[in-house]
Structure formats: structure tokens, C-alpha cells
Amino acid sequence: MTTTVAVLSGKGGVGKTTVCASLGLGLALQGHKTAVIDFDIGLRNLDLATGSHRRILYDFINVLEGEAALGDALIRNRHCDTLYLLAASQTRDKSALTEEGVGRVIQQLGDAGFEYILCDAPPGMEHAAKLACHFADQAIVCVTPDTASVRATDRILGLLQSHRIDNQPDTLHEYLLINRVNQFHLDSGAALTTAAILETLAIDLLIEVPECNRVAAAWSEGKPVLADTESAAAVALRNAVAILSGQPIKPVVGEVKPAGLLGRLRRR
């Protein structure tokens, strides 16, 4: 049984790649064979986030174009040997991404025993992002607690809905991940509250991830922040992993969790 998860956002830079790398590592650390795929062709980043950037021989496009076997393009993570990366091409054109090709790769990963496939999409709902969702069972939509990001999120949720109406049965489940929640901004009224965001977007909450200054360090080390035992963001991300994989979660200290919602998020 393979679960495919697309990580999306309306606006860019809200933390998709950070989240995707961490969730991938978290699921892999639980022993699940996990692949993270970078759909951000031309602007690849997931290789940096997972510390694999100097070991890319073949990439996703090479595989799609039949220039490399999938097994040769998958890069095993240095820190965790059940985590694999399929890197984006930095040089090639994203027109090589086709529905047929992406479907084939996801099918092959399933056949190879991968339990989780995480797709790191570019922002918005263009071609590559649509394809990242096309085969997904779940979509994690990342947002930051500001009006512009919430508006853009609403927009892509609408586009996602139209895309699905046109193309596939309504089996995709969307969850919201609110990233960079900052208590200081909340107290000063500069940030939108989670309640206000959920009221506007009307979708289920996966988790709130706090603003955390260890995230930058994690990027420069090439080790997803989830592995950082000192990080507040890591605590939330580990809980998100638990929710995704149906494990009990540890309460996040100092935050009120809407228990009713979490109960509903268990994997179907």
C-alpha cells in the first residue's frame, strides 16, 4: 500500500520544501520506505534540504525521458537509509513532465515497495503542481498566517478542485499546514489566528508549525529540521508525521490543539 502526498502552496517560500524534507525523514525514521520527489523543475531545492545535492547523478527528468533507470536516479539519504530522493533537473525544461510519465514513476515506486511518496511542488497550481497532485491521495497545503498567503491558498484550493472535477474522482484529501506561526506576531495582532484562517479556508488542519530559528541551520547542514532535538518546529513536524502515519501524537507544549480535528485526520 503506497500513500502519495503532494505538498503545495499558493504563495512561494512558505515552507513546502522544509516541510517535505522533514515529513519524508520522519516517515522514513519510522521504518517506512519513503521517496521524496522534487517537482520544482529548474528551481530544485529538496536536494539541499536533504543534504543530497552533491550526489545527484540522474534526476527525475532523466527518468521520465528514459535516459536513466529509476533505481539509478533515486538517491539514498545519508542520515536515514529508508529515505530516497528523486531530484529535480536544474537544467532541463519542465515540459518533460507528462501525466503518463509521472504516473509511471509513481507506479514503479509503489511496485518497488515504497510506502510513502512525497511530492514537493512548486508554488501555485501550474502544470508541475497539478501533476504533483494528480496521483496524490493527500495534499498538504502550506500557508503562513498572513492575508496574502491565505488568499493565494484559497485560490489554489479552488483550482485544485476544478482540476479534480475535470480529471479524477474526488479521492484527494486536503489538509492545511500553517507554517511560521509566531506567538509574538499573534499577540501583537500582526498575524492571522489559526481560527480565522480555518474559518476562511474551510479545510482540515494538519498542524501548526512555529517560527523557529533552527530551520535555517538545518538547511545549511542539509539535515531536515525534524532531526533537530532543540527545535520547536521539529516537535510539530514530528507530530504531523505521527498524524500522517496514524500514530498517537505528543502534545505540542504551549499550544492548544483542536483535538476534534486531529481525530479526523487518521489515515483512511
Partner 1 sequence: MSAHSDTSVAGDQQPAINSQAGAVEVKGNMVTMMSVLLHSTDLQQIETSLADRVKQAPDFFSNTPVIVDFSRVEITETFNFKALFKLVRNQSLMPVAVRGVIGELSDRLQLAGVPIVETAASERSDTTDRQTSNSRVGRTSSLVVDKPVRSGQQVYARSADLIVLTQSNAGAELVADGNIHVYGALRGKALCGVTGDSDARIFCTTLEADLVSVAGRYKILEEIPAAVRNKPVQIRLSGEQLLIEPL
Ligand X SMILES: Nc1ncnc2c1ncn2[C@@H]1O[C@H](COP(=O)(O)OP(=O)(O)OP(=O)(O)O)[C@@H](O)[C@H]1O
194 counts as binding Mg ion under rule CB under 5 A = no
d(Cα 81, Cα 218) in Å, to the nearest integer?
Answer: 19
d(Cα 246, Cα 27) in Å, to the nearest integer?
Answer: 11
Nearer to ligand X, 109 or 143 (CB): 143
Contact by Cβ (8 Å): 239, 207: yes
Cell, residue 20: 517535505
Q: Which of 48, 96, 159, 249 binds partner 1 (CB under 8 A)?
A: 159
3-state secondary structure of 209: strand
Number of residues interacting with Mg ion: please give it, by CB under 5 A: 3
Cell, residue 16: 513546502
> For binding to ligand X (CB under 6 A), which residues are involved?
9, 12-18, 40, 45, 123, 179-180, 209, 211-212, 215-216, 219, 233
Nearer to ligand X, 19 or 70 (CB): 19
Q: From the CB of 213, what's the least distance to partner 1, in Å?
A: 32
18 counts as binding Mg ion under rule CB under 5 A = no
Contact by Cβ (8 Å): 87, 56: yes
Binding mask 116-145 for partner 1 (x = CB under 8 A): -----------x--xx--x-----------
Nearer to ligand X, 70 or 234 (CB): 234
Nearer to ligand X, 70 or 205 (CB): 205
Nearer to partner 1, 160 or 237 (CB): 160
Which residues, listed in sequence order, are joined to residue 7 by a DSSP beta bridge?
120, 140
From the list 122, 80, 81, 119, the residue with the least C-alpha distance to 223 is 80
45 counts as binding Mg ion under rule CB under 5 A = yes
Contact by Cβ (8 Å): 1, 115: yes
- Cα angle value 116/214/144 (rounded, 5°): 70
Which residues, in sequence order, are CB contacts of 29 under 8 Å at separation 6+? 80, 82
Binding range to Mg ion, per CB under 5 A, among 24-32, 44-52, 64-72, 80-88: 44-52
Q: Which of 167, 171, 183, 193 binds partner 1 (CB under 8 A)?
A: 167
Dmax (CA) of the chain: 54
d(Cα 191, Cα 197) in Å, to the nearest integer?
Answer: 10
Q: From the CB of 125, what's the least distance to Mg ion, in Å?
A: 15
Which of partner 1, ligand X, Mg ion, none does residue 98 bind (CB under 5 to 8 Å by kind)?
A: partner 1
Binding-site ranges for partner 1 (CB under 8 A): 98-100, 127, 130-131, 134, 151, 154-155, 157-159, 161-162, 165-167, 200-202
For Mg ion, the binding residues (CB under 5 A) are 16-17, 45
